[in-house]
């Protein structure tokens, strides 16, 4: 998968949700997130080690497709 800046991802092995900040030409992705203590973290990961984080629709809310 090709990641783009702003995508929310996580390591395939688990861990926190992270935001993609940079994607370089060497298939490296700089991700940023807040650690459990609220400290800001960033680290480079190989593209293939990440998966998309799928967020559920808010409880009781509607999605754009509900009206279609």
List the CATH number of the domain containing 24: 2.30.30
For 29, counting Cβ atoms within 10 Å of its Cβ (0-12 exposed, 13-18 middle, 19+ buried), the class is buried
Q: Would residue 15 count as lying in a domain? A: yes
| 8-state DSSP, 27 | S
Distance CA 62, CA 36 (A): 31
Does any domain span residue 28?
A: yes
Query: Does the residue 10 lie in any domain?
Result: yes
pLDDT tens for the chain, 68 residues long, are: 789 999 999 999 999 999 999 999 999 999 999 999 999 999 999 999 999 998 765 665 554 444 44
């Amino acid at each position: 998968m090709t990641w783009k800046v702003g995508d929310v991802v996580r390591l395939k092995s688990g861990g926190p949700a992270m935001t993609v900040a940079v994607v370089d030409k060497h298939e490296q992705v700089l991700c940023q997130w807040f650690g459990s203590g609220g400290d800001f973290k960033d680290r480079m990961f190989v593209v293939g080690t990440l998966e998309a984080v799928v967020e559920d629709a808010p409880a009781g809310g509607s999605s754009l497709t509900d009206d279609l």
